[in-house]
Chain A
Amino acid sequence: MMIDTGTLRTSVRNGIEFIKKQRDVIDAEVFASWNEHITVRVNYTSDIPCNGIHEPKSTQGCGIALRVVFGSGKGIKVGLGNSANDITQRGIIDAFSKAKRNKIYDPDFLSLPVPIGEPVLQNYHDPETMEIDDETIVRLGWQGLKGVLEEYHQNRFSTSIIAGGDITIIRERMAIASTKGIDDFDESTILTANITSMVERENVKGSGWNTSTHVSRFRPEDAGRESAESAIKTIGGERISSGTYDVVFGRQPVADLCANILIPALSLSAVNASDTPFLGKLGQKVASEALTVYDDGTIKGAIGSKKISCEGIPTGKTSLIHHGFLTGFLANHYLAKKFDSRIASFIPRNGFRFEKGKRSYTQQPGISPTNIVIEGKEEISSRSLLSEINHGIYIGRIWYTYPINGLAAGDFTSTIIADSYVVKGGEIAHPLRPNTVRINSNIMDIIKNIIAISNDKRQTILWGNEEIVLAPEIAVQGVQLDSISGFIA
């Protein structure tokens, strides 16, 4: 059953009134949410019996969460409690009793968040998506597959085709109130199509994606078509030998490196665990002056945008790296307070309770990015980017990117699986054979060796990641690429 923001607001306000009357309570925050995560999984294999669309499915959740600060002798204790699917007075009482039972003395907990500024975004969700029906959900999935098949059929490919991926729709509503004066709500809609397709006998794979906050502007068929076009373009790929190459990272690899290596290291969570190569480097030059990175949850039409965090703080722009200098870390209120006097001041704009992409009452506010934006000092066209490297590799999609020796070491590895080319004389020369090259590098070397950044950014999504990267293409010198999987050939 869908719950509107008015009901959520009433619930959290009632919650605060109830808690104020309880003994030993110093402060409290009440958060309530209703979310639905809808997924339609694309699964087509031309040579193996298949479903086309595997299963339209959804998970729905609603509940209330409390953070309560209790007086305890000379100190304070903080307790967390939640109640599933019940945001009535009974749910509040249940959650409060859990918070009271679970209270602990954490010397690093200093206070609950206080109001900061005014939200930029208002009323940015799509009412049509909020009301979307099952038939439309299913149709959107088949539209994605239709885009793939039409493109392949037009190019006379009908066998050895694989199409996979998903159409995902997230509907979120939340409200928050606190004794510190926070009283706000948020409502957002996200639609993504992420499609990978292959002509398997040609050993080619292509990626396509489409994102929108409104169903009327959502084009899953474009994602399908793009994936097929890209796969067809890379037919006839060749291997390369191991060595150090100048490369252009396309948008998906830029997003992948950000999501799995760079941004986790630019969070106060990583600072707290002493597990980041940026520890102790605030204000220092850490990257090429060409590079600027920031998080911005206020970008209109971007699917990572939110009006407020799950702590009730208006989203905004948080500078992380500016012209190569380390300028900040993503923060929630808890860690911003903990590190406030030790390192610098941090605005806690990124305290979110994300769980599988949605805002969940079951989670404590951790630190999550919204829209990560990569900018260049002097951005150039994609074509000029190829000229910058002259000879090298255009890397269009990477996979399984991990900080292989831990975040702090900065080492990472990844394989190139699609959408990639050999560049000669500043031009695309021929495709690179997928699954034959492993990148072995270090993120600090990558960001130091950036030579140019393109001016064409695109919202880029990744499997299993919460954030969106507004990713350009980036040229980097001296990246170690190793030839692999010789036995497959």
Chain B
Amino acid sequence: MKNCRYADVRLGIHEVKYAHAENGKAKGMDEDASLSFGIRMLAGEMSAWGFYSQSIGGSEARPKSFGEILTLGVQKAYARAIANAHKKAEFKPFAPSLTEVTLARVNPCRDAIDSVFDEDPRAIPVKDILALCIKISGAMHSIGKDVRYAFLQVQTGIHREVFCSSEGACIDQAHALTQGTLAVVAQKAGGVPEVCHDYLGDLRGWEVLQGKNIYRQPLAEFAGMRTHETLELTEAEFLPATNEPVVVVTNPHFNALLVHEIIGHPTEADRALKLETAYAGRSWLLRDLQNNELGKQIASPLLNAYSDPSMNGYGHYKYDAEGTPAKRVNLIENGICKEFMNGREQAAILQHPPNGSMRATDPHSVPLVRMTNTVFAKGDKSPAEIIAEVKDGYFIVNHRIPSISESRENFRISAQKVYKVESGKITKLYRQGGITADSKDFLMNIDAVGSDFSVFPIPNCGKGQPMQIMRVGNGGPTLRSRAKLTGLRT
């Protein structure tokens, strides 16, 4: 094809079984496979992107039919890239920063990666999955009369994607994914409902739900624990908000969402380069290529943070959606902002080495820069010691819902539970509270980093247009800093 500079094709098949139930009643089950592809192409004299994708039916999956569909897709992607490149050249006199796309160089890889599991998801009868959902959601519902709603969904499956590029890359990667999703609503008569949503999952087989997970608990125990906690909260007082920062100790589950929002997202290079200005926002870490926080102190010297797809967790993979080998990216070292997660195009603009952080939710979505397993690094203080040193403060336990400023410079994140800490002891439990702070203030005020460390599954990170929902791993140790409490205003 004339002036075609680059093309890649991703072909994926997802084999998934799932079931869900409410209050001990069956609501649905399914086992199915879906096949789809996406073609990305760079073409034109002033090279520009074009993309085409679609799902494929079972009858079209035969090589001849599939070859014809793929050829049509290539022609569509090419036509779009050419039309886009023509317009780019036409607009160049009015907009000098328009430039042809350059991709940072990577060595084309050829590899095959199998999924990892002890118990093959394909061997689990979907009726057994439904029975589990009915049993557990029924057990949750019967824990107390004030449990108004108990929902459980379980999915398990194998996801395989083949990536081939015009540069010669050919990578066949597969992973298993097993996840339990729960929701519980508890309410005292005449009171305000208390709601809990949480997940248990990993990129492994059925064993995840039998205890091989971050909680080291079978799904039934985990669901029971969250239900008991939710019930307990209906008896608690509402947390009073404060107008001034107080000492807060945040646990690893809470820090999973915190690191996701105030470290992970602002260190995604596409945000930093303003590509998400209209949607998920920019990054306060990069105003422009000359004026930015790279190499500057943005956090306490005690704090390190990194993104590592080679670790186990929802952000694990060996090659990203551009075929770039995945690697650990040190985001913050001793409080200094060091690197951004990037793809080949952003790496070329920033003149950084490509670090393999491009992912798409499925083959028919375009790849974006995505955090991987993005975490605060562990420190050397025991969590017990961190709390014992607090004369007057609060222990913020388990994340709930975030709201973050546009460039990630301020956050409010609610917690499932907040405890008062007095003279080093955890005392009173509060409900419907959380913390708010300017991101840099919170990071700079960190004065203790725990020796504990956990990575939690975050299955629902939204980004892009149309929005893609991505699984990522987030976590870290216990931290201590300062923030205002959010909750009841008097």
Chain B, 111-161, CB within 8 A of any chain A CB:
126, 130, 148-149, 151
B332 interface residue (CB < 8 Å to A): no
Give CA–CA (A137, B414) in the complex, Å: 42
Of listed B59, B87, B91, B436, residue having the most chain A CB within 10 A: B87
Interface SS of chain B: mixed
Selecting from A372-380, A412-420, A467-475, the interface stretch reads A412-420
B29 touches A102 (CB 8 A): yes
A84–B366 alpha-carbon span in the complex (Å):
21
Does the CB pair A53–B59 fall under 8 Å?
A: no
Residue B409 is within 8 A (CB to CB) of chain A in the complex: yes
Asked if A84 meets B406 with Cβ closer than 8 Å, knowing A53-B88, A164-B277, the reply is no
Q: CB distance A51 to B365 under 8 Å?
A: no
Q: A86-B59, A406-B193 are in contact. Are A44 and B410 (CB under 8 A)?
A: no
Contact mask for chain B residues 392-435; partner A; CB cutoff 8 A; 1 contact, 0 none:
00000000111111110110101000000000000000001010
Contacting pair B405 A52 (CB below 8 A): no
Decide if B486 is an interface residue (CB 8 Å cutoff). Answer: yes
| B97 and A49 contacting across the interface, CB-CB below 8 Å | yes
Does A105 interact with chain B (Cβ within 8 Å)?
Answer: yes
Q: If the complex has contacts A37-B466, A404-B412, A435-B409, are A94 and B58 also in contact, measured as CB distance less than 8 A?
A: yes
A83 to B187 CA separation, bound complex (whole angstroms) = 41
Does the CB pair A55–B51 fall under 8 Å? yes
Contacts of B276 in A (CB 8 A): 164
Q: A55-B366, A164-B275 are in contact. Are A408 and B95 (CB under 8 A)?
A: no
Q: Does chain B have a CB within 8 A of A428?
A: no
Contacts of A194 in B (CB 8 A): 278
Residue of A275, A362, A409, A438 near B432 (CB, 8 A) is A409
Q: Chain B residues near A90: list those with CB within 8 A.
A: 59
Closest to B92 in A: A52
A134 at the B interface (CB under 8 A): yes
- On whether A274 and B84 interact (CB within 8 A), knowing A48-B97, A48-B289, A196-B278, the answer reads no
Contact of B406 among A195, A356, A435 (CB under 8 A): A435
Cβ-neighbour of B80 out of A137, A145, A200, A356 (below 8 A)? A137
Is the C-beta of A390 less than 8 angstroms from some C-beta in chain B? no
Beyond A49-B349, A84-B57, whether A415 also contacts B94 by CB under 8 A is no
Residues of chain A contacted by B49 (CB below 8 angstroms): 51, 54-56
Size of chain A's interface in residues, with CB distance under 8 A? 105
Residues of A within 8 A of B76 (CB): 58, 134
B62 within 8 A of partner (CB): no
CB contacts (< 8 Å) of B414 on chain A: these are 404-405
Residue count of chain B within 8 Å CB distance of chain A: 95
Question: In the docked arrangement, what's the CA distance between A402 and B413, Å?
Answer: 10
**B99 CB contacts on chain A under 8 angstroms:** 49-51
Q: CA A106 – CA B274 in complex, angstroms?
A: 48
Cβ of A147 within 8 Å of any chain B Cβ, yes or no, is no
Instruction: From known contacts A86-B57, A415-B403, infer whether A104 and B130 are also in contact, taking CB-CB under 8 Å.
Output: yes
Output the least CB separation between B269 and chain A (Å).
Answer: 11
Q: Are B403 and A275 in touch, CB under 8 angstroms?
A: no
Among A39, A105, A198, contact of B277 (Cβ-Cβ < 8 Å): A198
Residues of B within 8 A of A407 (CB): 195
A281 close to chain B: CB less than 8 A: no
Tell yes or no: A123 within 8 A of B by CB.
Answer: no
A426 contacts the other chain (CB 8 A): no
Task: Using A48-B288, A52-B95, A487-B441 as known contacts, say yes or no to A85 and B55 having CB atoms under 8 A apart.
Answer: yes
Closest approach, in angstroms, between the C-beta of A316 and any C-beta of chain B?
Answer: 28
Contact B486 A484 (CB under 8 A): no
A357 located at the interface, meaning its Cβ lies under 8 Å from any Cβ of chain B in the complex = yes
B487 to chain A, nearest CB (A): 9
Q: Does A20 contact B (CB under 8 A)?
A: no
CB 8 Å contact bits of A133-165 with B (1 = contact, 0 = none) = 011011101100110010001000000001111
Q: Which one, A46, A364, A415, contacts B410 given CB within 8 A?
A: A415
If A104-B130, A463-B467 touch, whether A85 touches B288 (CB-CB below 8 Å) is no
- B54, CB-defined interface residue at 8 Å: yes
| Interface residue ranges of A27-44 to B (CB < 8 Å) | 37, 39, 41-44
With A and B bound together, what is the CA distance between A63 and B58 in angstroms? 11
Compute how far the CA of A19 lies from the CA of B50 in the bound complex, rounded to whole angstroms.
42
Q: How far is the CA of A205 from the CA of B279 in the complex (A)?
A: 13
Q: Does B364 sit at the interface, judged by CB under 8 A?
A: yes
Segment of B20-28, B207-215, B245-253 engaged in the interface with chain A: B20-28
Closest B residue to A82 by beta carbon equals: B32
Q: Is the CB of A405 within 8 A of B400?
A: yes
- The CA of A430 and the CA of B441, in the complex, are separated in Å by 29
Give the docked Cα–Cα distance between A482 and B440 (Å).
17
Query: Hey, which chain B residues are within 8 Å of A47, CB to CB?
Result: 97, 288-289
- Which residue in A42, A53, A272 is a CB contact (below 8 Å) of B48? A53
In the complex, whether A80 has a CB less than 8 A from a CB of chain B is: yes
Asked whether A435 lies within 8 Å of B407 as measured between CB atoms, the reply is yes
B101 near A: Cβ within 8 Å?
Answer: yes
Given contacts A51-B101, A61-B54, A84-B58, contact A463 B278 (CB under 8 A): yes
Q: Residue A18 at the B interface, CB < 8 A?
A: no
Chain A residue with the shortest CB-CB distance to B96: A46
Report how far A488 CA is from B406 CA in the complex, Å: 12
6 new A-B pairs (CB below 8 Å) besides A45-B274, A134-B80?
Answer: A57-B51, A60-B53, A82-B32, A85-B54, A196-B277, A404-B403
Chain A contacts to B: CB under 8 angstroms? 37, 39, 41-63, 80, 82-86, 88, 90-91, 94, 98, 101-102, 104-108, 134-135, 137-139, 141-142, 145-146, 149, 153, 162-166, 168, 194-196, 198, 200, 205, 242, 272-275, 279, 356-357, 362, 364, 399-409, 411, 413-415, 417, 434-435, 438, 440, 463-464, 480, 482, 484-488
* Nearest 3 interchain pairs by C-beta: A85-B57, A406-B195, A164-B278
24 A-B residue pairs with CB within 8 Å: A47-B97, A50-B97, A51-B99, A55-B49, A56-B49, A58-B53, A82-B32, A83-B57, A88-B59, A104-B28, A138-B84, A142-B90, A168-B466, A274-B148, A274-B193, A275-B185, A356-B467, A405-B401, A408-B195, A409-B195, A415-B405, A480-B489, A485-B438, A487-B438
